[in-house]
Structure 1
Amino acid sequence: MQLLPPFIFILILSAFSFRISSAVVCRNGQDAASKVAYTLTVNKYSKPGPAIFNTIEAAINTIPPNNDQWVRVFISPGIYNEKVSLLQYRHCIFLEGKGHHLTIITYNDHEETDQSATFTSYVENLIVKGITFKNSFNRQGYLDFYNKRTKGEVKIKQAVAARIYGDKSAFYGCGFIGFQDTLWDATGRHYYKNCYIEGGVDFIWGTGQSIYEDCLINATAGTLLSPDSVSYVTAQGRNSSGETSGFVFRRGIVFGTGRILLGRAYGLYSRVIFHNTILERAVAPEGWDAWNSKWHEDKLTYAEVDCKGPGSDTSKRVKWMKKLRPSELYQFSTPRFINQDGWLDSQPLS
């Protein structure tokens, strides 16, 4: 993860404000069972036809601009070695795989953080179900290859698996696999349910306003680097008290190897909450790192509420970790934090 110039943040936040005000509403289609207008199928092994495509990008490109009906893109089992981009002028897209172990989109770009993502979405109203997004650059095979070339020097670079800009984006049973900067939760309201997220350095980061529910969080620095390496799960980028962004983890498990810190402050007002989550033994006693907010820790909102497991003992946590009252925690519930207008309730999930 690179520190982005202030004007980049201004552009991102401006674009986000425009999307919120545009308030795209997706209409249900004619299919009474699934509520979609029509389905496109991606199968890399089939002969292309009127609604059958060999690549995901080819299928996406047929969806008309300013679409306002739900369109399903069904992605058959397979490993799709391609970069996929969903542009801002397309809306109401439902990407569905056969399960995150069976439908995998992978690439290994790593030269520039903001260009490296295997999957990028600017779409307002997005559903993704049963798909893994992977950036393979920092995986063990690549590390072994580069270590041989550099005589043992570990080569780690920012390599994003997915970056999500669009408001009202939901992911169900998906996987996000990388090492540094795996999931760029950039801007907008996002919901992640029953997902698997893997990485080692700042692997969930950005200025999104997001809830992660029942997710498996696997920190791997101790495996891919050295046994005593530190994994940073989050690097949340909230930069003022007026910003609504933040990451909320509810239930789920944080586990892995080495020493795990739950977050470090990418923004001066960084906000991350773990609620009723199982924290395994590798979670370090101090729990958190002020990083860019050192000497301004009072502005941070890092909290653990009703967590369980061998790593949940807070007696040795950083002294500036917040304690939330029930009324404060309620502000971070799904209805209050991301679903104020009921967008999650109107999704066409079969």
Structure 2
Amino acid sequence: MTKFKKNGKKLLISSVSAFAVLSGSHAMSNSVIASELGGNTNDEKIESVYQDGGLQIVQLEEITSGLHLKKLKVMGILSKGENSTVQPTEFPPGNKVKMKQVEWIGNSLIAVTLDRKLESVHANDIAFLQNGELLPVKRASIGTSPEGNTVILYQLTGSLNPDLFSGEQKVEAKIVQTTSADKNDNRMQSGDHRKMRDVTAELAGIPNLLTVSKDGPADYSTVQAAIDAVPENNKEKVEITIEAGIYKELVTISKNKPFVHLRGEDASNTVITYDNYSGKPKPGGGTYGTTGSASVYVYGDDFIAENLTFENSFDEQSVDVKDKQAVAVYTRGERQAFINSRFIGNQDTLYVREGTQYFYQSYIEGDVDFIFGGGRAVFEDCDIFSLNRGSTTNNGYVTAASTLISEPYGYLFLNSRLLSDAPDQTVYLGRPWHPSGDPNAIGSVVFMNSYLGPHIIPQGWTDMSGFSYKDARFYEYQNYGPGAVINEDRRQLSDEEAEQFTIENVLRGWNPKELHEKDNESI
């Protein structure tokens, strides 16, 4: 058992669970494993005591991100797993405990690796000095090295400057107390000191990669757990590879998690799904509503998803309610790309709320308004599939754009295909959505150089909630196929007008293809 003492109370943690807490393993992170200590402890313990005004002992995840923890494991500073069979060196009585290495691992974090496994650890035994001046420390956490030795991670109250490790600056760790001890009660070597080494460049050189798997070995078993491991306000792309499987979970990429790249094993078999819908009662009262029904929310800028299926699996026939909107993906951020991905749902499958989105070689299916919202989005080389609702006259609407009049561009469908198993001439290209009756939501949709199947109604567009499609910015240009008829309701762009509808213009100057070429990736 492992004993903690916090705020005057002792807590008891089982030895298996303690390893998970101290090593940063995610396996036990969702369990409450502490209880008041009322009895004995065994010999296999690490006692971590912090007194009033002393250091706070916390889990590793509380002082560093999951991505950083993985890098520390890859680099060999922390053990990679809780099933390690490594037996640390055991020192007979009379051998003082010393520091093996001291490393600055970024920002305010310092890792101190000791030369053995300790039975009792008192974080205040070690102090940090810059040219003889004490560096204040606020928190610490305890882990294990690949050799089975004790590692203490310290968090300073402020960040270190890389310039400290050049020139004549002296930054070191020093043993100032001798409370900690190993199994044979060998104590810290008083006065032992070691110069701090800067390993931040080496850590930065390790790829920003996290893995997810339902069954096999991986960093995380859920997509959301991997996203949570990305540092807040991250500045570099973090790739999260997801093995094939069905991940039934709600996923949110928050605004403070930019540069997230989700890469599935393959689009058909790597599925993120959930089954909320607009009229579904919420546990706290009320209903989810359309916005609250999404399976996946993407707020973070510079987001990429590829080789994935995003699904809302709500069965419209399963309940008798009016509000059956069920969103698979909700987007609200800048420079968000979806490549070789699938979007599965019925009504309101894809909600491009605002921002700029790029969909390439992807498949989107639904029936009523299944691509909707006020964002600026390009759909290039995509298959847009309208489901058959069983009607002989109206099987739905592909788009329901709510583009504000202040935005010159809305949706651009480029070199795409509109397909369906619905009867001929029973699906509209779209209708104008004015949220809450907003008169400034003058939708903008252009279908360009695309195949339109026979399911498209010759009129093309229709009204919505009293607003006329003729007042919206609905246009076509050089489409082909049985549904690509030209009449007074199907306004066509001139060659000069069509030149303005480029990927860069619609996406506010962003060209996702160029970015991928720079990253040695090909769309």
- TM-score of the aligned structures, taking structure 1 as reference length: 0.80
Q: CA 1:183–1:261 in structure 2 vs 1: closer, same or farther (change >3 Å)?
A: same
**By how many angstroms is 1:304 displaced?**
1.4
CA distance in 2, matches of 1:309, 1:273: 16
Q: Secondary structure at the match of 1:115?
A: helix
CA distance in 1, matches of 2:202, 2:237: 10
Deviation per CA, 1:24-69: give whole Å up to 9, x if none. xxxxx9999xx99411110010245xxx110000111010000010
Q: CA 1:163–1:311 in structure 2 vs 1: closer, same or farther (change >3 Å)?
A: same
CA distance in 1, matches of 2:274, 2:304: 21
Q: Do 2:403 and 2:444's aligned partners in 1 also have CA atoms closer than 8 Å?
A: yes
- Is 1:41 equivalent to 2:208 in the alignment? no
Q: Pick from 478, 499, 520: which aligns with 1:306?
A: 478
Q: Secondary structure at the match of 2:505?
A: helix
Q: Pick from 417, 426, 439: which aligns with 1:253?
A: 417
1:312 counterpart letter in structure 2: A
Deviation per CA, 1:261-318: give whole Å up to 9, x if none. 00100144111000011111110111001324635824x2111111111111123x52
Deviation per CA, 1:80-139: give whole Å up to 9, x if none. 11110000011001100022201111110013211110110100000110101000113x
Q: Which residue of 2 aligns with 1:204?
A: 371
Q: Secondary structure at the match of 2:330?
A: strand
Structure with greater Cα Rg? 2
Q: Pick from 292, 306, 320: which aligns with 1:115?
A: 292
Q: CA 1:293–1:249 in structure 2 vs 1: closer, same or farther (change >3 Å)?
A: farther
Q: Which residue of 1 aligns with 2:345?
A: 178
Q: CA 1:229–1:292 in structure 2 vs 1: closer, same or farther (change >3 Å)?
A: closer
CA distance in 2, matches of 1:159, 1:183: 9
CA distance in 1, matches of 2:370, 2:469: 23
Q: Which residue of 1 aligns with 2:9?
A: none
Q: Structure 1: which 5+ runs fail to align?
A: 1-28
**By how many angstroms is 1:341 displaced?**
4.5
Q: CA 1:304–1:194 in structure 2 vs 1: closer, same or farther (change >3 Å)?
A: same
Q: CA 1:40–1:288 in structure 2 vs 1: closer, same or farther (change >3 Å)?
A: same
CA distance in 2, matches of 1:229, 1:306: 25
Deviation per CA, 1:119-162: give whole Å up to 9, x if none. 10100000110101000113xxx52x44xxx6xxx866010000
The count of corresponding residues between Structure 1 and Structure 2 is 300
Q: CA 1:285–1:295 in structure 2 vs 1: closer, same or farther (change >3 Å)?
A: closer
Q: Do 1:167 and 1:188's aligned partners in 2 also have CA atoms closer than 8 Å?
A: yes
- Higher RCO (CA-CA < 8 Å; seq separation 6+): 1
Q: Structure 2: which 5+ runs fail to align?
A: 1-200, 281-288, 435-440
Q: Do 1:103 and 1:131's aligned partners in 2 also have CA atoms closer than 8 Å?
A: yes
Provide the alpha-carbon RMSD of the alignment. Answer: 2.4
**By how many angstroms is 1:342 displaced?**
4.4
Runs of 4+, deviation exceeding 4 Å? 29-32, 341-344
CA distance in 2, matches of 1:90, 1:245: 27
- Is 1:286 equivalent to 2:463 in the alignment? no
CA distance in 2, matches of 1:229, 1:343: 36
CA distance in 2, matches of 1:203, 1:60: 27
Q: Pick from 160, 164, 173: which aligns with 2:331?
A: 164
CA distance in 2, matches of 1:170, 1:105: 17
Q: Secondary structure at the match of 2:427?
A: strand
Q: Which residue of 1 aligns with 2:222?
A: 55
Q: Secondary structure at the match of 1:59?
A: helix
Q: Do 2:335 and 2:510's aligned partners in 1 also have CA atoms closer than 8 Å?
A: no
**By how many angstroms is 1:228 displaced?**
3.6
